[in-house]
Amino acid sequence: MKSKIETLGLQLNKTLDGFEQRTSKWLARSLDKHLSIGITGFSGSGKSTFLTSLIHQLTHSDHAHLGGFLPARDKRLLDIQLLPLEDLPLFDYQHGIQALASDPPAWPASTTQISGCRLVIEYKKSTLLPTFTGETRHLTLELRDYPGEWLLDIAMLQQDYRLWSLDTGNLNNRGIRQQLAGNLLNELDQLDPLASFDSHNIAPLLRRYHDYLLACKNAGLTFIQPGRALLADSRDFPHFLPLNHLQHYSAQQLNNADENSLYKIMQQRYNTYLSAFVRPFYKRFFRGVDRQVVLIDVLKALSNGKEKFDDMIVAFRRIIDCYHVGQNALLHRLFSPQVEKILFLASKPDRILMNQHESLRRLCDDIIRHICPQSVRNRIEIETEIAAAVRSTHDHSDHLTAKLLSGQFGELTHPPIPDQLPDAEQWQQLEKWQPPVLQAPLNPDLLLGGRLAHIRMDKVLRDLIGDKF
């Protein structure tokens, strides 16, 4: 048996070990630093292009016009290294830049798999502050990119199959969705949850449900689950359907249903989808994220009309709900409560006049007020910005000029951008407008480190990592 003194000694050692660990962690944080940054947003919001531009701007900061980002302005960025992350394929920056440098220019391809990179930034410490460890330091950024559709499934982690079914059923029976689903809704309505599962009956319904989800996406809706069903190689999804009428059954009735009943098979497939795809992704992607950039294509959402705009708000609200860590034990484990800052970014503002940028930023603020509950805002620092990763227009004060994706050169105008959620009259004005899909500017020098024109990427860098230099 150990003596009391020995035990005390052991405890003291343990305490000292813990103290040392905490101290070294603290030292690492305060000297060389490490930040994990999540880049998130729905499909097409501009994540991959943003990441490509961010890497390019930092790597060639000398002539990147980053006046608002002091370490670049003061030429204190000495070296940037792009390295892979241990457990993921390397983010394909080279391909992205090659696409933008080609003639005619192309955009980085839409993402189908998660990838990531480590950016190791060697920088000179500001001489205003005393330094104890030499002049140069390192900041490591861990960045990940993934298909936007995967984000849509996050809210499913908060729901069991019964709740998801009820929710999705309600949604399908409203507005544009109801029109798009047409007769499919009647057929879903006739399914008896407790009847035996019949694959001949269900397989064609699954195919039609898949087509319906794609039609929702093409119509400009956002809140579409399961998100993986929207990807190009998604013929296997969904394996499950929402069942109507579940509200008429007690939890006990459903629990006692035959293992081969439609309800039990759908429930099992739903659970498998969460455990095989959704949970591992969120564990890998969100665990340990310190700062989050959320890209929102606000202009596209504005031009889609009120119903689709509201749909996007609902989708974001559901996702942001997942930051209510602590309320739900499962989510508490999945989402480290470490996220200290979220930067909401209205992407691609080069499609509107500069004199409308402030309205767009304020509108973005208003959107965030609607999607971020006070409880999240109390805990996490929230900022809003607008930024174009690749500026693709020329501004002539009252109109823009640019090349459309077709290669045709054109003059662009647009209705005034509201500085808060639009009223009925503004919705009417916006209805007639579609922000054009543009061709990126011709820029063959990019491969040699040429300047990639942007809007406010320096402010993004300042808000995101400026405090670490």
Ligand X SMILES: Nc1nc2c(ncn2[C@@H]2O[C@H](COP(=O)(O)OP(=O)(O)OP(=O)(O)O)[C@@H](O)[C@H]2O)c(=O)[nH]1
Site residues, Mg ion (CB under 5 A) = 47-48, 111
40 touches ligand X (CB under 6 A): no
CB 405 to ligand X: min, Å: 7
Between 254 and 296, name the residue whose CB sits nearer to Mg ion: 296
Q: In the structure encoding, which two tokens stand for residue 170, read together?
A: 């309600």
Other CB atoms within 10 Å distance of the CB of residue 409 = 10
- When CB distances are held under 5 to 8 angstroms depending on the partner's kind, the choice from ligand X, Mg ion, none that residue 437 binds is ligand X
Between 230 and 241, name the residue whose CB sits nearer to Mg ion: 230
111 touches ligand X (CB under 6 A): yes
For the window 174-213, what string marks contact with ligand X as x by the rule CB under 6 A? ----------------------------------------
Q: Interface with ligand X by CB under 6 A: which range of 188-196, 317-325, 343-351, 366-374?
A: 343-351
CB 222 to ligand X: min, Å: 12
Taking the C-alpha atoms of residue 43 and residue 111, their distance in angstroms, rounded to an integer, is 9
- When CB distances are held under 5 to 8 angstroms depending on the partner's kind, the choice from ligand X, Mg ion, none that residue 107 binds is ligand X
- When CB distances are held under 5 to 8 angstroms depending on the partner's kind, the choice from ligand X, Mg ion, none that residue 100 binds is none
Between 213 and 389, name the residue whose CB sits nearer to Mg ion: 389
Other CB atoms within 10 Å distance of the CB of residue 274 = 20
Between 165 and 356, name the residue whose CB sits nearer to ligand X: 356
Between 114 and 257, name the residue whose CB sits nearer to Mg ion: 114
348 touches ligand X (CB under 6 A): yes
Between 368 and 386, name the residue whose CB sits nearer to ligand X: 386
CA angle 331, 337, 340 (to 5 degrees): 140
CA angle 193, 197, 201 (to 5 degrees): 100
Q: In the structure encoding, which two tokens stand for residue 257, read together?
A: 């249903």
Quick one: CA dihedral 370, 374, 376, 377, positive or negative? positive
392 touches ligand X (CB under 6 A): yes
43 touches ligand X (CB under 6 A): yes
CB 49 to ligand X: min, Å: 3
Tell me which of 45, 165, 172, 267 binds ligand X, using CB under 6 A: 45
Tell me which of 69, 91, 93, 107 binds ligand X, using CB under 6 A: 107
Residue of 114, 130, 137 lying closest to 51 (CA atoms): 114
Between 262 and 312, name the residue whose CB sits nearer to ligand X: 312
242 touches ligand X (CB under 6 A): no
CB 390 to ligand X: min, Å: 4
Query: CB–CB of 151/139 below 8 Å?
Result: no
Q: How many residues in total does the chain contain? A: 469
Instruction: Tell me the residue type at 381.
Output: E
CB 147 to Mg ion: min, Å: 6
Tell me which of 40, 48, 59, 356 binds ligand X, using CB under 6 A: 48
Between 100 and 241, name the residue whose CB sits nearer to ligand X: 100
225 touches ligand X (CB under 6 A): no
Interacting residues of 185 by C-beta distance below 8 A, sequence separation 6+: 172, 173, 178
46 touches ligand X (CB under 6 A): yes
In the block, tokens 């950016």 appear at: 119
Q: Interface with ligand X by CB under 6 A: which range of 10-18, 245-253, 263-271, 382-390?
A: 382-390
72 touches ligand X (CB under 6 A): no
Q: In the structure encoding, which two tokens stand for residue 149, read together?
A: 């559709």
Q: Interface with ligand X by CB under 6 A: which range of 128-136, 208-216, 307-315, 347-355?
A: 347-355
Query: CB–CB of 142/36 below 8 Å?
Result: yes
Tell me which of 54, 221, 343, 388 binds ligand X, using CB under 6 A: 388
Enumerate residues 423-442 that contact ligand X by CB under 6 A: 437-438
> Which residues of the shown chain bind ligand X in the complex (CB under 6 A)?
41, 43-49, 107-108, 110-111, 147-148, 348, 350-351, 388-390, 392, 437-438
